[in-house]
Structure formats: C-alpha cells, structure tokens
Chain A
C-alpha cells in the first residue's frame, strides 16, 4: 500500500521569503501522480501544483515549484515570495495512475504561518 509522510507539522516564514515544505512517499508503482493541496481556514481544498512521475522536469506554477526526486521518493514544495494569503494547511497527496478510482492518499499536512 502507498503511504505519504509529511514530517513538518508546522512551518513559519516571513512575508516575501522562501519556504520549502517536505513530503516523502512510499510506493512500488513506477507511474503515478503527486499533488500539493492547500486548505485555508475556509476548509476548501485547493490544488496548488501537480507532478506526473514519468516527467523528469519539476512542475512550476507561478510562485510555487516542486523538487521531485523519484529515486528518493521525495516531493517537496517551494513557495517563493511568500504572501499572507499563503497561510494555510498544505497537504501532499499521491494518486495511482492505474486503477478504477481517482483515490488520493494524503499526508498529515503542514500548517504554514506567514509572518508580516
């Protein structure tokens, strides 16, 4: 079975600075998808960025980028030029490429605080 581990329960960053959130996962599959979701106090999960395992190039979405290390099974999220609105719980998630469902396996989350 696949597992996702986020070892940083809480992180803090100064506004305009850069922060990196860590995520490791375990799988025996060779092709899969990885995601970072943001959950603000409003509770609604918002997709931040996604990565397909067969793509070696790291995904980037504006101020958000990932460092995908397939051999190490690591998938960290870098937030550049942090803004107050980035404060939220961040979840790393795994999805198998095959199978009948869109099932996401989530980590336990990292609570990010942004200091003005």
Chain B
C-alpha cells in the first residue's frame, strides 16, 4: 500500500509569484486535507477536499486554492506569495469520515 506522497520536497519562490504543490493520497483514500506549518508552530488547517469538492476551509485567504482530481490526488495553489507564506505544507489523506489521517512528508516552501 502506497503512503501519502508530496512534491516537490523543497521550493524557493520570490514574493508575488505563484506556486503549486502536489499530493498523492494513500490508496483507497478519497479525502485530502492541507495544512500549513510555520516554523516552531503546529500545523494549521487550510482546507479539505472530498470527491473533488472543497468541503471545509480554515482561516486562509482566497489566494490559497486547491483542486482534487478523480484519482483523489490534490493540488494546493498559492497566488501572490508573501514572505509569511514560508512554511512546511502538509497533505493528509483519509477514507470518507475516516478517524485517522495519514500525512505526507511535506513540502518546504521558502519565499524570498
């Protein structure tokens, strides 16, 4: 069984640019959540996708958007990057209403 994978591992962007992060969910999982983990902090919920629809969102501005594809993989897009967007971005997958989420290794984004 393949676990949750994310790409790329690291990314460096400049302020104002746009970025796309990718996540492949664990086999059999149809729900994907994205979290932002700033340095020294716990992860913060960005949003969740279920069956290709966003069904919940945290306190993040609209320039954070996402997609989920028919194979349940997902993308996180961030427009107009700001310095404070520098963080580890974690993807987690689960089954429908699954109690346990399985996390990927994250993408480290640095905005200069």
Binding site for B on A (CB under 8 A): 4, 33, 37, 42-47, 50, 91, 93, 99-109
Within 8 A of A (CB), among B7-46: 31, 33, 35, 40-45
Q: In the complex the two chains form, what is the Cα distance from A104 to B48 in whole Å?
A: 11
- Work out how many contacts link A and B, with CB atoms closer than 8 A: 63
A4, A93, A100, A102: the one contacting B98 at CB < 8 Å is A102
B58, B92, B97: the one contacting A45 at CB < 8 Å is B92
Q: In the complex the two chains form, what is the Cα distance from A105 to B94 in whole Å?
A: 16
Interface size class of B (residues with CB under 8 A): 20 to 34
> In whole Å, how far is B4's beta carbon from the nearest beta carbon of chain A?
8
B105 and A44 within 8 A (CB): yes
Q: In the complex the two chains form, what is the Cα distance from A33 to B97 in whole Å?
A: 13
B58, B98, B104, B106: the one contacting A103 at CB < 8 Å is B58
Residues of chain A lying within 8 A (CB to CB) of residue B48: 100-103
Q: Which 6 A-B pairs have the closest CB atoms?
A: A106-B42, A101-B56, A45-B103, A101-B48, A44-B105, A103-B45
B56 and A103 within 8 A (CB): yes
Within 8 A of A (CB), among B27-75: 31, 33, 35, 40-45, 48, 55-56, 58
B33, B90, B104: the one contacting A102 at CB < 8 Å is B33
A47 — nearest CB in chain B belongs to which residue? B100
Q: In the complex the two chains form, what is the Cα distance from A44 to B55 in whole Å?
A: 24
